[in-house]
Amino acid sequence: MKKLKKYLSYAFRVPMFLVFLFIIVFYGLPALGKDAEVDEFAIVTAIGLDKGANDEVDVSLLTFVPVAQQNFAEKYKVIKASGSSVLEAIDYAGLYLGREIGLNHVKTVVINEEYFTENASVEMDYLTRNKSLALSTSVICTDAKASDFLETVQKMDTESSIKVDDIIDFNNKFIYSTESTFETFYKGLYSKTKSSLVSFISLSEDIDEGVTVSASGEASGGSGDTATNNGEETQKTILNDGKSILCKDASKVALLDNTDMQKLNLATGSFKSGTIVIDDFSDDVFHNARLTFDIQNIDVRRKGQFINGHPVVNMSIKLYVKLLEAKEEDLEIKENIDIKNISKEAIDALESKVKLSISDAINILRENKCDILKVYTLLNNSHPAETKKFMSKLEDEQDFLNYVIFKVSPQIYSV
Amino acid sequence: MRDKTMNIWQAGICLFIIIFANKILLLPSLLYRLANIEGMFAYLFSFMLEIGLLTLFIFLKRKYSHISFSQLIREKLGVITLKIFYILFCLYFFCKLILIYNVTYIFFKDLIYKNSDSFLFIICLLPIMNYLAYSSPRVVGRTAMALFPIILVVLIFCTVTSLISVHDIPLFFQSSPLKVFLATIKHISSFGDAIFLFVFMDKIEYKKGDGKKLYFFAGLAIIFVLLIAVAFYFSYTYTSFMHPYAIFETMGNIKDYGGLGRIDAVAVILVIILTYFQMSIYLKSFTISFKEIFPKLSLNYALISFDFLFLIVVYLLVRNLERTILYAESILPYFSLISFVLVPITSIVFLALKRRR
């Protein structure tokens, strides 16, 4: 007892011990009586936005309700709600579920194509302002209803464990697609030509490619928890084939397919993996062959200059490729393919292909007055006075790409 | 006697830590909002003033090596001036403390505390601040010295990884010199941290040539701050104004985590350590100034007065980022007259008087 008293008197002399006691009494004990946070929240992993009736927003939330069990399983459900604003609709969804909606785990936002016919950033406003959602959250545009899309996604997860964020996670790695997040969208929107790219994923019943799942028929359409199927099972396919919508002022101006994206990415160099194909190629080894090269690395350097008042962009592209597939009738491998380098003719053909691709990409951008290549930044940063003078002469500043001369010099290396 | 002083290395480390105060979270984003990418010049101008303040301190320390700043004022300008000076110092340090608290509280609230009230954050911060302020300068210096390697390693990690992940170019030449000047003036209160050295003047052991060590630590901190700002602007370009917490956001921009998971948590650790030290050093400076105003009162009175005032002001002022920025941009710049006008002029006068003799 004496010893205890001694220890206590010593402990009370240490101010930090008193602080510790204070925290335990005022925060520790009440915390024991509180509900666990998992019991208060419904965890949302994806949000879908559709245009509703009477100018309302239909919000769909791919949600799971965490339940403390011995076996851990995330059972997802799509919760639908409508409201005059996104926030109001999310609040209603919380009301339907009897839980607070937790948006901290949202990785994907699916937006119906309809929103991109006008300024889509208006509906994105709440999601951008919300601190729970990172600006690195992926944004997808779809031709189907976002709610149907999320239901298919939920089914896909149950059937194959493929999640929607996994599907678009590699978009920035491949030459056929692009990264699409709030961040990339706004970066483009606040640039000179207010142009950005948003990934486009189709949901259809009659596509052979992609990830197909058996999904329920058209949902009942009402708000709340959609638990019932109202008809026969249909096969729905989610196809991320690299399509992207080109937006200007947050509105869609063009739908680019994966070949367009391939051309654009060759000019930007923002990818890590991809192929380049040349058809009808003939040299000493091949005759009318289709050669597929794997792009191992790309280095794009751009330099802006003014020649006699005309803006010129020099693009130097170093492409490191490896021939990985050749298709030709009666093809025989006669030489050691590890030693045999790509022929001079093949390099020339590849160079022409790169030049042509970039020329096509520039034409797409010129047509739509979208500066995805950040040409304005390049010219302005290197020659600010001349750029200002050049821009002042134009009737439409947004059309400046039409007056820029591009000089593309590709260099192909075999690895 | 040794316990009441800190050596030059410890002072240098404290200077290194304090230079980061309010410069690597909100400031880059706010400067971008006011002056685009040219907001970087606001950093450069303000750091030049900071180095000027440090130079004056080193000259003063060289000429009056064993005398405190308060003694100098008392001898040359009288007791009344001394009291006025130290009341202003108290105010200055208190305001800086409130600003650091506001910014870091909102940062941690967004990231960790979410719905918790400010009081929980105070409980985590105030006792340790009080303890370090209550201890002798050597305790503060030694603790800072012990944690300095960790701070340095984490800082290098954050800076290098942020710079490696940069893959964009911002748009230059969009601002005007006037905008840069206004941005500098509005955020001048985030600078002038070297002023704490004047308050600690007699508590720093100084030998010939020690000035270089102070320049080294100040220079190192300035380089880190600038690198973090560069990484931030080059990572987020047009959207820099949308990202309020620079060092955390630059880490969040890193695409290839290499299996490390939430790599941005490293930046949070750094901010936690820096905040504790910055607030402790400022509180220590506040208590020293308080003692000069009320020499007969013990240190406990200074701490208790501070705690009460702090709790009241925090309760009234700490609400959101909007209010914090309003406070930082419209009220605090006037207080910077103390660090960038009053103290330098007084120091120059003291130096001139010494030369005349």
Write down the domain spans for chain B: 2-356
For A172, the closest chain B residue by CA position comes to B255
Distance CA B36, CA A228 (A): 53
Distance to chain A for B320, nearest Cα, Å: 13
Answer for the pair B86, B286: CB distance below 8 angstroms, yes or no: no
> Which residue, among A190, A301, A375, would best test binding to B if mutated, counting the most B CBs under 10 Å from its CB?
A190
Chain A residues 16-35 within an 8 A CB cutoff of chain B: 16, 19, 22-23, 27
Chain A residues touching residue B170 (CB < 8 angstroms): 377
Q: How confident is the model at residue A228 (pLDDT cuts 50, 70, 90)?
A: very low
Return the pLDDT at B83: 95
What pLDDT sits at residue A275?
A: 92
Length of chain A as a residue count:
415
Q: Please report residues of B whose CB lies closer than 8 A to that of A16.
A: 127, 131
> Which of chain B's residues have a Cβ under 8 Å away from the Cβ of A192?
171
Can you tell me which residue has the tokens 């830590």? B17
Residue A200 has pLDDT above 60, yes or no: yes
Which positions in chain A touch B252 (Cβ < 8 Å)?
A: 134, 136
Whether residue A14 is predicted with pLDDT greater than 50 in this model: the reply is yes
Q: Which of A:244-283 have CB within 8 Å of B?
A: 270
What pLDDT is recorded for position A159?
Answer: 75
Please tell me the distance from the alpha carbon of residue B154 to that of residue B269, in angstroms, as a whole number.
Answer: 8
Distance from C-alpha of A381 to C-alpha of A184, rounded to nearest angstrom: 21
Q: Which of B124, B134, B239 to mutate to test the interface with A (most CBs of A within 10 A)?
A: B239
Measure Cα distances from A245 to A195, A201, A357 in Å: 10, 10, 19
B303: which 2 tokens? 């701490």
**ipTM value of the model?**
0.84
- Please determine, for residue A34, whether its predicted confidence score (pLDDT) is greater than 50: yes
Let me know the angle formed at the C-alpha of A138 by A112 and B115, rounded to the nearest 5 degrees: 105
pLDDT at A391: 95
At A216, the pLDDT band (50, 70, 90 cuts) reads low
Q: Tokens 């090269």 — which residue?
A: A293
Instruction: Point out the residues of chain B with pLDDT beneath 70.
Output: 1-2, 255-261, 318-319, 356-357
Token pair of B353 as six digits: 């008087």
Q: Which of A16, A19, A132 to mutate to test the interface with B (most CBs of B within 10 A)?
A: A19
The answer to whether the CB of B190 falls within 8 A of the CB of B21 is yes
pLDDT of residue B346: 94
Would you state the pLDDT for residue B253?
77
**Distance from B173 to chain A by nearest Cα, in Å?**
7
Distance from CA of A227 to the nearest CA of B (A): 33
Across the interface, of A22, A183, A384, the residue whose CB is closest to B173 is: A384
- Residue of chain A nearest B114, judged by CA positions: A132
A248-281 core/surface letters (b: 16 or more CB in 10 A; e: else):
bebebeeebebebbbbbbbbbbbbeebebebeeb
Give the A:B interface size as CB pairs under 8 Å. Answer: 51
CB A185 within 8 A of CB A95: no
Position of tokens 């290396």?
A: A413
Q: How far is CA B38 from the centre of its chain?
A: 22
Q: Report the amino acid identity of residue A13.
A: R
- Give which of B284, B266, B250, B209 is closest to B18, Cα–Cα: B284
Contact B113, B216 (CB under 8 A): no
If you measure CA to CA, which chain A residue comes closest to B252? Answer: A136
Q: How far is CA A132 from CA A100, A139, B130, in A?
A: 13, 15, 33
pTM to 2 decimal places:
0.89
Of B127, B236, B239, the CB nearest to A19: B127
- What's the pLDDT score for residue B82? 94
pLDDT at A229: 46
Please, which pLDDT band fits residue A329 given cuts at 50, 70 and 90? Answer: confident
Q: How far is A162 from chain B (nearest CA, A)?
A: 20
Q: Per the structure block, which two tokens stand in for B228?
A: 């973090």
Residue A135 · residue B239 · CB < 8 Å? yes
For residue B70, give the nearest of B85, B88, B53, B92 by alpha carbon: B85
**Nearest CA-CA distance, residue B71 and chain A, Å:** 33
Give Cβ neighbours of residue B115 (< 8 Å, ≥ 6 apart): none
Residue of B4, B57, B37 lying closest to B217 (CA atoms)? B57
Highest averaged pLDDT of the listed ranges A20-24, A39-43, A207-211: A39-43
Q: Indicate the average pLDDT of chain A.
A: 85
Half-sphere exposure in the Cβ direction for B52 (13 Å, CA): 16
3-class secondary-structure state, position B262:
coil
Per-residue confidence (pLDDT) for residue B158, from 0 to 100:
93
| pLDDT (0 to 100) of residue B18 | 95
Q: Which pLDDT does position B289 carry in this prediction?
A: 95
Tally of CB atoms within 10 A around B112: 12
Give chain A positions within 8 Å (CB) of B173.
380-381, 384
Contact check, Cβ <8 Å, A187/B239: yes
Which residue, among A205, A201, A209, has the nearest Cα to A255 in the 3D structure? Answer: A201
Fold classified for B2-356: Amino acid/polyamine transporter I (1.20.1740)
pLDDT (0 to 100) of residue A214: 62
Chain centroid to Cα B102, Å, comes to 13
User: Which among A135, A136, A381 is the nearest to B242, CB-wise?
Assistant: A135
Interface check A375 vs B, CB under 8 A: no
For the CA atoms of A208, A209, A213, A218, what is the dihedral angle to 10 degrees? -60
- What is the mean predicted confidence (pLDDT) over A222-232? 49
Instruction: Select, from the ranges A30-44, A102-116, B217-231, the one with the highest average predicted confidence (pLDDT).
Output: B217-231
| Contact criterion met (CB < 8 Å) for A380 and B171 | yes
Cα dihedral across residues B314, B319, B322, B326: positive or negative: negative
Among partner residues A19, A186, A377, which is closest to B171 by beta-carbon distance? A377
Give the separation between CA A290 and CA A277, rounded to whole angstroms.
7
Helix (H) or strand (E) holding B153: helix B137-164
Instruction: Indicate yes or no: CB of A381 within 8 angstroms of CB of B173.
Output: yes
Chain A residues lying within 8 Å of B132, measured CB to CB: none
Non-local CB neighbours of B75 within 8 Å, separated by 6+ positions = none
Give B239's contacts in chain A (Cβ within 8 Å).
Answer: 135, 183, 186-187, 190
Where does the pLDDT of residue A251 fall: very low under 50, low under 70, confident under 90, or very high at 90 and above? very high
Angle, nearest 10°, between helix axes B118-134 and B79-108?
140
Kindly provide the b/e burial profile for residues B236-272, where b requires at least 16 CB atoms within 10 angstroms of the residue's own CB.
bbbbbbbbbbbbbbbbbbbeeeeeeeebbebbbebbe
Domain annotation for chain A: domains and CATH numbers:
37-252 (no CATH), 259-414 (3.30.300.210)
Report the run of H or E that residue B203 belongs to, with start and end. Answer: none
With pLDDT > 90 as the criterion, what percentage of chain A qualifies?
A: 49
DSSP type of residue A36? P
Chain A residues with CB inside 8 Å of B243's CB? 135
φ/ψ region of B114 (left if φ > 0, alpha if ψ in -120 to 50, else beta) reads: left
Q: Using CA atoms, how far apart are residues A387 and A311, in angstroms rounded to an integer?
A: 8
Query: Which residues of chain A neighbour B238 with C-beta distances below 8 Å?
Result: 186-187, 190-191
Rounded to an integer, what distance in angstroms lies between the CA atom of residue A38 and that of residue A40?
5
User: How many Å apart are CA B313 and CA B122, to the nearest integer?
Assistant: 12
State the average pLDDT over residues A215-221: 47
Report the chain B residue with the minimal C-alpha distance to residue A377.
Answer: B171
Taking CA–CA distances from B167, the nearest residue in chain A reads A270
Residue A59 to chain B, least CA–CA distance (Å): 24
Contact assignment for A172 to B255 by CB distance below 8 Å:
yes
- Residue A57: which of A108, A102, A93 has the closest Cα? A93
Q: Determine whether the interchain pair B238/A23 forms a contact, defined as Cβ–Cβ distance below 8 Å.
A: no
Q: Mapping DSSP to helix (H, G, I), strand (E, B) and coil, where does residue B9 land?
A: helix
Lowest model confidence (mean pLDDT) among A3-12, A26-35, A65-74, B168-177: A65-74
Asked whether the beta carbons of residue B171 and residue A381 sit closer than 8 angstroms, the reply is yes
- Which two structure tokens, joined as six digits, stand for A283? 């040299």
Q: What pLDDT shows up at residue A219? A: 42
Distances in whole angstroms, Cα of residue B80 to Cα of each of A260, A289, B305, B345, B346: 77, 95, 22, 18, 15
Nearest chain B residue to A27, by CA: B120
Contact B171 A192 (CB under 8 A): yes
Cβ contact, residue pair B169, A374, below 8 Å: yes
Of all helices (H) and strands (E), which one includes residue B82? helix B79-108
What is A53-90 written as a DSSP string? GGG-EEEEEEEE-----SS----EEEEEEEESSHHHHH
> Cα A344 to the chain's mean position, in Å?
38
Which of B109, B125, B242, B253 to probe the A interface (max A CBs under 10 A)? B242
CA distance B310 to B122: 10
> How far is the C-alpha of A109 from the C-alpha of B82, rounded, in Å?
61
Tokens matching residue B170: 């911002």
Does A15 lie at the interface with B, CB-CB under 8 angstroms?
yes
pLDDT exceeds cutoff 90 at A171: no
Question: Which range (A13-22, A61-70, B228-237, B292-301) has the least confidence?
Answer: A13-22
Cβ distance B197 to B15 under 8 Å? yes
For residues A92 and A83, give the distance between their C-alpha atoms in angstroms, rounded to a whole number: 8
Alpha-carbon distances of A396 from A193, A377, A403, B180, B254, rounded to whole Å: 11, 17, 11, 30, 37
Residue B271: its pLDDT value, please?
Answer: 93
Cα–Cα distance measured from residue A138 to residue A199, given in angstroms and rounded to the nearest whole number: 9
The answer to whether the CB of B171 falls within 8 A of the CB of B32 is: no
User: B253 contacts in A (CB within 8 Å)?
Assistant: 136
